[in-house]
Amino acid sequence: MHQGIEYVHFSDTDKIKAFDEIAKMFYYANFGQTSKSEIELFMFKVYLEKLIDENKDVEDQTIDYNKCSDYRISKELGITQQRVRNLKVKKQLVYPEEFRWEVALAKLMKNARLENSKIIINIPDPNLFYEIQNFIEEHGGYIETQLNSKILQIRQEYFLLLAIELESEDTQKKIIKRIKKDLHSHDSDNQKLDKREIANSLITGAVNITTIIANISSLFSVGAPLMVGLKALLRI
């Protein structure tokens, strides 16, 4: 072992469970059929799940990404950080694990910064980044591609729409109606959820986005993670 590195600790129960899963790969008339890459991926899965379990918030189940960083894992396993990221993505595809990306994103907002109306956040985990990107694109939005694949950059207006998309349909209608009113829209009673039009109006209009958010924040569900993070960033 290398000095100075705190390795993940596996209990006897963990080892028994892992061996039982390995046995399924070899002892059911399938000996030698599992490839080296499949075995390595399984061993990475066992390691990563244990690492996450040891560094997870008890209340909201979010990961402490500082203790599960690509750098730490690369040092412990003796592989490159890029290979760690590739294994994380492949592991999620083969052994999917559900997680609340919106809560994880909200927690990372404490390290976000605002530059020229754009919110810039470091997303340390590739699977978290892809979940956020997929949700935004599925709802007609987009993020700006960066040379650093860990950086998420999105206009604050589109981030607001992202927060709105997580609310129930009824709540969304109330929020959109209030935004239209603040924008002095002639069809503020229209319940159509034309969010892209709203975003463009927020960007090109004279209304201050901070004022808009302050006016609609009470309409969100209690503890709405992205709204909480956005208000903290804008100091509302």
Closest CA to 234 of 184, 123, 160: 160
Residue-averaged pLDDT of the chain: 87
What is the C-alpha separation between 119 and 154, in angstroms, rounded? 5
pLDDT bracket for residue 189 (50, 70, 90):
low
Q: Kindly state the tokens that stand for 17.
A: 């469970």
Question: Is pLDDT of 34 > 80?
Answer: yes
- Of 75-84, 157-166, 175-184, 211-220, which gets the smallest average pLDDT? 175-184
43: which 2 tokens? 């061993």
- Give pLDDT, residue 217: 92
Higher-confidence residue of 158 and 5: namely 158
pLDDT in tens, 79-128: 999 999 999 999 999 999 988 899 999 999 989 999 988 999 999 999 99
Which CB contacts under 8 angstroms, 24+ apart, belong to 87-91?
Answer: 87/41, 87/44, 87/48, 88/48, 88/125, 88/126, 88/127, 89/126, 89/127, 89/130, 90/41, 91/41, 91/44, 91/45, 91/48
- Contacts with 43 (C-beta within 8 Å, 6 or more apart), sequence order: none
Q: Where are the domains of the chain?
A: 12-98, 103-234
Which contiguous run of DSSP H or E holds residue 153? strand 151-155
pLDDT on residue 122? 94
pLDDT at residue 4, as a whole number? 46
Q: Model pTM? A: 0.83
Mean pLDDT of 9-13: 92
